[in-house]
Amino acid sequence: MQSGAEAPATGSRGAEQPGVVLDGVTKAFGAVVALRDVSLRVAPGEIVAVAGPSGCGKSTLLELICGLAEPDAGEVNSAPAALMPQRDGLLPWLSALDNAGLALRAGGASKKAARAAAHEHFEAFGLTGFEKARPAELSGGMRQRVAFLRTLLAGRPVLCLDEPFGALDALTRGQMQRWLADALEREPRTVVLVTHDVEEAVLLADRIVLLSPRPGTVVETIEVDLPRPRARTDLAVVELRERALHALGEPSTERA
Ligand code: ADP
Ligand code: MG
């Protein structure tokens, strides 16, 4: 959870925040070109989803934004960003409370202070009663909420969420998508949400950036100018989902 370096640490909100800017970014691993000439802008307070097929460089994009990797060409400028990794990254030997407070501990907070700060959110995160539970004792949805809380408590203005609900069953995923939409409505953040699920992108984002198969390049950007809360059955949601699938070259799908 390192930041993109020199950008000044700002509060979690405010018009002076630079948000995220990628300009003509290319990134390769040896002979494998993961991303090619990707440009992307996320304004402060905006939720941008990045969707595309597996292996098209989505996780790499987040690593660049968080300063965990450097581009081979192009420029990355971002306010300090916290990463919620693709696998929840919870430490199995720590309690839910200590996992949630991990970024605070890493920042120098005492165990007591980190626990107190994390615990303030446990009720809103539906985690009351599970403070001492280890990750193995939590449901998949709870683990994702602990991981999300840890990302929030890192106190960085930009949140990079890497397929946060990808490993959940369909029912839990739907519940968690609604929960995240509500949480961001209550407390807006600058969010880059990576997903391979275009429906999730339409439900949650202000804008969707669609990437091609590797090497990932931007094939289309879709503005999601729809009121919230959004339901997967809303006609406008279905239409945008179909448009996104079409842009990705996928046959339309009917989902249960
Ligand atoms: P996505 O998240 O969209 O599935 P990734 O960003 O994880 O895609 O990976 C894009 C491509 O880059 C893949 O082919 C992957 O194997 C490769 N890749 C990613 N990280 C590394 C790395 N550290 N070393 C070598 N290859 C990598
Ligand atoms: Mg990935």
* DSSP letters spanning 24-67: EEEEEETTEEEEEEEEEEE-TT-EEEEE--TTSSHHHHHHHHTT
**Hey, whose CA ends up nearest to atom 27 of ligand 1?**
29
What span, in angstroms and rounded, lies between the C-alpha atoms of 96 and 41? 34
For residues 106 and 139, membership in a common domain is answered with yes
The answer to whether residue 86 sits within a structural domain is no
47 DSSP β-pair partners: 191
Place of tokens 């203005």: 157
- E strand intervals along 57-153: 73-78, 81-84
Nearest to 164 by CA among 156, 154, 150: 150
Q: Residue 254's pLDDT band (boundaries 50, 70, 90)? A: low
**Shortest-distance Cα residue to atom 5 of ligand 1:** 57
3 and 67: one domain? yes
CA atoms within 13 A on the CB side of 62: 25
79-89 pLDDT per residue, tens: 999 999 988 88
User: Do 165 and 228 have their domain in common?
Assistant: yes
**φ/ψ of residue 74, rounded to 5:** 85, 180
Average pLDDT over every residue of 54-83: 97
Query: Which of residues 155, 174, 192 is at a domain's end?
Result: 155
Which residue has a Cα nearest atom 26 of ligand 1? 29
Domain boundary at 139, 155, 171, which? 155
Among 44, 85, 63, residue whose Cα is nearest residue 3: 63
- In sequence order, what are the residues at sequence separation of 6 or more whose Cβ sits closer than 8 angstroms to the Cβ of residue 237? 199, 202, 203, 226, 230, 231
> What average pLDDT does the segment 206-229 reach?
96
pLDDT score, position 252 = 61
Ligand 1 pocket test, pick from 38, 60, 63 with the greatest ligand atom count within 8 Å of Cβ, gives 60
Ligand nearest to the CA of 162: 2
Residues in contact with ligand 1 (CB, 6 Å cut-off): 29, 32, 34, 54-60, 214
The CATH number of residue 233's host domain is 3.40.50.300
User: Is the per-residue pLDDT at 15 higher than 80?
Assistant: no
Q: How far apart are the first and last CA of the chain?
A: 37
Question: Do 54 and 166 share a domain, yes or no?
Answer: yes
Distance of CA 201 to the CA centre of its chain: 11
In contact, 127 and 22? CB cutoff 8 Å = no
Please give the share of the chain, as a percent, with pLDDT higher than 90: 79
CA max distance for the chain: 53
Residue 122, domain extent? 91-155
